[in-house]
Structure 1
Amino acid sequence: MNQLQQHIRKQIETTGPISVADYMMQCLCHPKYGYYMGRDPFGREGDFITAPEISQTFGELLGLWAAITWQQMGSPSPFHLVELGPGRGTLMKDALRATKAVPGFQDAAHIHLVEISPVLKDVQQEALKSEQIHWHDSFTNVPDGPAIFIANEFFDALPIRQFEKGEKGWAERFIDLDPDTDGLRFVLRKDEAARALMPEGLKDKPEGGLFEVSPMGQAIAHGLGARITQQGGAVLALDYGYTEPGFGETLQALKNHAYAPVLKNCGEADLTAHVDFTTLARSFIEAGAKTWGPMNQGDFLERLGITQRFQALLPHANDEQRPDLIAAHKRLCSPDEMGTLFKVICATHPDHPAPAAFE
């Protein structure tokens, strides 16, 4: 039993079972024992690999997308280019390299990274040491003004609540001590208030289903939508998820590139859940923003020219690099890899024209 699990056990013994959202928040963000607070989880030596680490073309294309969006906004100067959950800084580094040739873009851009991990902040500082970067622990601290927000695999790590429909109606899943072991277990607490968090089409479904919702994700999307509606700008979010709300558990733990038990090794594995893009879009819209998509990541990248970019790189690649380029393109775009599982959604100021790839 590690120190975080001991801490959670003491909390449950003192105040009773905790929600899944509370459990996720502690496992990921506890200031002393949280998963993201003391490690670099990315890459082959970590627990998972994200799109920017697969190929530099991913960040380059997102940078060019941001430059086109900036031009559609009327090329404001200054403006804020903000990344939420920037990992190692790889995406931003590639984006800035690709946009050097866009007249006025980098002169106008104030770069902001929203990061809570001290370890990752150090990695980002090294990766972007030639740039002037501003760090924040919340997007709400980004100064006023038009802004373009990029969120790649950000919303999936936000805490969720889980609700299960049994014989007596809806109940919320909580986490309690397992009386038969030293570990933890899921329990149910009756909660009629849960119905208010659910889409109308699911409230009267038959028993046996489990529904997930991320109030924090909705609140952040609403806040971002209000920001760009009032001050101008756009939000581009890429994540794995689904386009229609439905039953099913997606909460998962990842450790050493493999699935791990959710209720074990607290703080030592990444915890994520699939993003509900319909609810995400509704949060943007309720704040006054206009939404575009969601669409599959493979389609989005193809519309931005990823195949042409790889075709341009292949003639200059050696025998060792060529298979890696082909594999990277397949992983990012193929329907049986990230191409379909990952979705892309954009929110803009209501008067913004169709963003690149969403025409």
Structure 2
Amino acid sequence: MSLRERLAAQIRASGPLSLAQYMTACLHDPDFGYYAVRPALGEGGDFITAPLVSQMFGELIGLWAVETWTRMGRPARFRLVEMGPGDGTLMSDLLRAARLSPAFTEAADVWLVETSQPLHDRQRQALGDHLSWAGTLGEVPADAPMILVANELLDCLPVRQFVRTETGWAERMVGLDAAGALAFGLAAAPVLDRIAPVGAILETSPAQAAIADEIAARLVEAGGAALLIDYGRAVPGFGDTLQALCRHRKEGPLENPGEADLTVHADFPAVMAAAAAQGAQTPQILTQGEFLVRLGIGARAEALAAARPDLSGAIERQLERLVAPDQMGELFKVACIHSPGFVPPAFETCP
């Protein structure tokens, strides 16, 4: 039985699924879920992330982490955590750059939070056994300050969608059409205190907010900072952002359950509101372009090109892909959550 057949049987037995339930099954079903069985990252896979575009991305985050640790007072022991670490490239580049500060690497207790066994295996191949893994952040010891990085984690957390109709809000569900195929439909929804024109779609993600809530609570208790990088919105808004990616092409989200990566835009306003409610500091959200430029990516690109003139053209293209407004520079945002008492680099108040 395929995942499509399993979901159809479940719908016939119990009724339509919320979009959040559908996304969770497609991504994490233990037998058929995309991340459980067949995650495919990189140029030859289904999608590419910033760490795979260029080593500069992870290196600059490594330098950000070192300077953040310094501003925290150089604690003798801290947890260096990556959530959703992909194939391990970001952490590998981060740690290589961080070796410029031997005291930082000596103090760091490195943890990867990963739920996908195939990706866990790739991370172990890339990084070896000198670090620790956990299935959830709650499994990472909380007895020390923390510096956390999460790149493209929020976008794969499930959302619910609500549609403004002539008679009020309705929830978008996944059911079956007359031929028994998966199809979108609408169901009665709770009254939402949001004014919007007919046809507007509101996405909410309790899962994204819950991650921010958990991270912020730990930072307030033990100290530290978290960096959340993803594509998404920096101000509240409406819109259907659900997409399925297979071989770098978009397809219908209901076409191939479990075969494609399902993503949505990160709701950074809701994420930051959840973190602030725990007492964490939440400075202004930056675009990825702004963040990397403030960290000196231009100088790093020049240094790499000087060391490898034969690769200067490729390095220039990588730089453009990461920071150009019409590529990853504007769509991707960078949010920081931190404990009171210091400000991490790049998030100082703008002049």
TM-score range normalised by the length of the shorter chain: over 0.9
Q: Is the 8 A contact 1:39 1:120 kept in 2?
A: no
Q: Is the 8 A contact 1:293 1:344 kept in 2?
A: no
1:322 aligned residue (312, 323, 329):
312
Q: Is the 8 A contact 1:228 1:349 kept in 2?
A: yes
Q: Distance in 1 between matches of 2:206 and 2:200?
A: 19
Task: Output one character per residue of 1:270-322: Cα deviation in whole Å (capped at 9) or x when no partner.
Answer: 00001111111101101110001211100100000000000111122243x22
**Which residue does 1:50 correspond to in 2?**
49
Q: Does 1:289 align with 2:280?
A: yes
Q: Does 1:153 align with 2:152?
A: yes
- Partner secondary structure for residue 292 of structure 1: coil
Q: Distance in 2 between matches of 1:183 and 1:46?
A: 27
Q: Distance in 2 between matches of 1:296 and 1:84?
A: 20
Aligned counterparts, 1:1-359, within 5 A: 3-129=2-128, 132-144=130-142, 145-180=144-179, 182-193=180-191, 195=192, 203-319=194-310, 321-351=311-341, 353-359=342-348
Task: Output one character per residue of 1:62-94: Cα deviation in whole Å (capped at 9) or x when no partner.
Answer: 011011111111111211000010000000000
Query: Are residues 40 and 247 of structure 1, via their aligned partners in 2, closer, same or farther at CA, if it must alter by over 3 Å?
Result: closer
Q: Is the 8 A contact 2:173 2:187 kept in 1?
A: yes
Q: Is the 8 A contact 1:39 1:119 kept in 2?
A: yes
1:204 Cα deviation after fit: 2.1
| Amino-acid identity (%) | 46
Letter in 2 for 1:90: T
Give the TM-score of the pair, scaled to structure 1. Answer: 0.95
Give the TM-score of the pair, scaled to structure 2. Answer: 0.97
Letter in 2 for 1:6: E
Q: Is the 8 A contact 2:208 2:267 kept in 1?
A: no
1:101 Cα deviation after fit: 1.6
CA RMSD of aligned residues (A): 1.1
Letter in 2 for 1:303: R
Task: Output one character per residue of 1:244-295: Cα deviation in whole Å (capped at 9) or x when no partner.
Answer: 1111100000000010110011000000001111111101101110001211
Large movers: runs of 4+ above 6 Å: none
Q: Distance in 1 between matches of 2:323 and 2:347?
A: 17
- Partner secondary structure for residue 282 of structure 2: strand
Residue correspondences, number: 347
Q: Is the 8 A contact 1:234 1:347 kept in 2?
A: yes
Q: Is the 8 A contact 1:162 1:210 kept in 2?
A: yes
Point out where structure 2 has 5 or more consecutive residues left out of the alignment: none
Q: Distance in 1 between matches of 2:274 and 2:28?
A: 24
Q: Distance in 2 between matches of 1:208 and 1:29?
A: 30
